[in-house]
Amino acid sequence: MTRPVLRLKPPTGWMNDPNGFIHSGGRYHLFYQHNPYAPRWGRMHWGHAVSDDLIRWEHLPVALRPDSFWDGALGCFSGSAIERGGELYLLYTGVSILGQYQMLARSGDGVSFSKRRRPVIGRRLLPPGGSGRAFRDPKLFERDGAFYCVVGGDWKPEAPAAGGRSRAVRGTQVSLYRSDDLVEWRYVGPLLRGVLPDGGVFECPDYIRVDGKDVLIASPMHLPRNDEGEFENLHSTVYLPGALDLERGLFEPDDGPGVYRELDGGTDFYAAQTTTAPDGRALMVAWMQMWKRTMPTEAEGWAGAMTVPRELSYEGGRLRQRPVRELERYWADTAGAADFVLDGTASVPGVRGNVCDIELTVDMMGASEFGLRLFIAPGDGPDRSCVTLRYDRKNASLVLDRSRAAVRIASLDKGEAGCDVRTTRLKLSGALLRLRLLLDRNGLEVFADGGAVSMTSLVYAPEDHTGIELFSDAPVRVVELRRHAIEGVGTERSPR
Ligand code: DQQ
């Protein structure tokens, strides 16, 4: 199995959630949940990588290890970073035998971190209805000289269910805290509350202002699938545009209570974390994986990787995502064709590859289906393995199908119906379908309609499965097809 070129992955062992994503000391830092000893989840460390441009990453030594009483049970869980007075601070969840509490570490050089001995948000500061059993993933932000963080966790509603007998309801909440110095915190209020199946909680909450809009992000566990075909993965990542009231600790979602928008419609996207770039861009990265799936790279001693970082914008009442523009510096050897009619199946000379960036605009004309086959095995014949992305115009949806992929991935949880096919609503305003596809050896990131829809999925294919084909059920006009190879990202540099 080949390692992705563009996307951050662990030097060895296991990687999950992105943590502490920040630009500090002249470079980007991306920490991550890490087990350096095996390609499986274990007691959590914080792995650490740095980059000048969000594309070429250099691994640094592990930043946090479970080496104290407060993280001695399951380790140093997810959290975030902020700069203060020229120092880099990490706020993370320590998991001890007493439960989950928020811990602080700091560094003068951005490489080695020293931990405060006791939690800064401990038992005394639990939110109303919250227990220390699930209280995790603090995400820091700064506003008007004050520090804030949002923390996910459990919530036991105070009143019994209306009209019924008192029943133990296990809910979940995202709580807001405030501090002037990152050490003394006070609880402000609940930004989001809900009840998820099986006592699931909102993991990895995040808040960012994008183009003047307040956006709350969270990763709810076990969110049930809806009629729109959303939330098909075991756990989901959602966003809620709305209005944040920092004084009263309230978040008013634009869509009303209990409505979540899926952040990505693919099979592998979780625990997204945002940061703001020095030039003001809102950036986001996520774990490109889903829990409880077979992970074929285990056999190579590593497992888990990130998405390529994305830029966020807020336009037309929705969040849009696109790969960071720094990626374009690595475009090379552009091939493609423009303004031709496709009717049936065709390939375009030079348009192939498994590490490339594809831009495509298609006028659907009278067709009801248009699509691409990617990662096609060499040879001839209709049975070659591949992955299919197709636009189904009648159902206004984009369908990503990896049931014919060279290496199948299975879901290991009965809460998930399967993980071969994902469908995402995509309503075109006219007949133009606009797609951007990022192929990176064992993965595919799809952005449609200027990033209004994204689908992120792992695809494991041998190195020579580089064929690309277009297909349609009736004539369509390919307005533009450009495939940029990606070169010069180079090999990974490991800790010295
Ligand atoms: N992963 C971390 C937790 C978080 C979960 C543990 C989400 O902090 O809630 O590795 O993937």
For residue 427, being part of any structural domain is answered with yes
Instruction: Calculate ∠ Cα 56-59-60, nearest 5°.
Output: 135
For residue 388, being part of any structural domain is answered with yes
Same domain assignment for residues 314 and 349 = no
Q: Hey, is 413 helix, strand or coil?
A: coil
Tally of structural domains, the chain: 2
- For position 157, what pLDDT does the model report? 87
**Integer Cα distance of 434 and 335 in angstroms:** 18
Same domain assignment for residues 315 and 344 = no
Q: Which residue carries 């979602």 as its tokens?
A: 253
For residue 467, being part of any structural domain is answered with yes
For residue 359, being part of any structural domain is answered with yes
Ligand 1 mean position to 199 CA, how many Å? 15
Same domain assignment for residues 298 and 342 = no
Instruction: For residue 263, list its beta bridge partners.
Output: none
Can you give the CATH number for the domain in which 454 is found? Answer: 2.60.120.560
pLDDT in tens, the chain (496 residues): 679 999 999 999 999 999 999 999 999 999 999 999 999 999 999 999 999 999 999 999 999 999 999 999 999 999 999 999 999 999 999 999 999 999 999 999 999 999 999 999 999 999 999 999 999 999 999 999 999 999 999 999 876 655 555 567 899 999 999 999 999 999 999 999 999 999 999 999 999 999 999 999 999 999 999 988 899 999 999 999 999 999 999 999 999 999 999 999 999 999 999 999 999 999 999 999 999 999 999 999 999 999 999 999 999 999 999 999 999 999 999 999 999 999 999 999 999 999 999 999 999 999 999 999 999 999 988 899 999 999 999 999 999 999 999 999 999 998 898 999 999 999 998 999 999 999 999 999 999 999 999 999 999 999 999 999 999 999 999 999 999 999 999 766 665 4
Calculate the CA dihedral of residues 349, 354, 357, 360 and round it to 10 degrees.
50
Same domain assignment for residues 165 and 105 = yes
Burial class, 114, CB count within 10 angstroms (exposed 0-12 / middle 13-18 / buried 19+): exposed
Same domain assignment for residues 163 and 239 = yes
Q: End of a domain among 323, 354, 389?
A: 323
For residue 494, being part of any structural domain is answered with no
The DSSP secondary-structure symbol of 297 reads G
Same domain assignment for residues 278 and 384 = no
Q: End of a domain among 323, 346, 376?
A: 323
Tokens of 350: 């030079």
- For position 304, what pLDDT does the model report? 98
Ligand 1 mean position to 152 CA, how many Å? 10
Q: How far is CA 3 from CA 12, 126, 194, 302, 316, in A?
A: 11, 41, 38, 9, 37
Q: End of a domain among 289, 323, 357?
A: 323
Ligand 1 mean position to 22 CA, how many Å? 19
Domain extent, residue 405, equals 335-486
The ligand 1 site (C-beta within 6 Å) comprises: 16-17, 33, 44, 77-78, 93, 136-137, 203-204, 270-271
For residue 493, being part of any structural domain is answered with no
Nearest-CA residue for atom 5 of ligand 1: 203
Same domain assignment for residues 311 and 341 = no
Same domain assignment for residues 364 and 317 = no
Burial class, 431, CB count within 10 angstroms (exposed 0-12 / middle 13-18 / buried 19+): middle
180 catalytic residue (yes or no): no
Same domain assignment for residues 288 and 202 = yes
Helix (H) or strand (E) holding 144: none
Same domain assignment for residues 316 and 340 = no
Q: How far is CA 46 from CA 29, 182, 307, in A?
A: 12, 20, 18
Quote the pTM value.
Answer: 0.97
Same domain assignment for residues 197 and 311 = yes
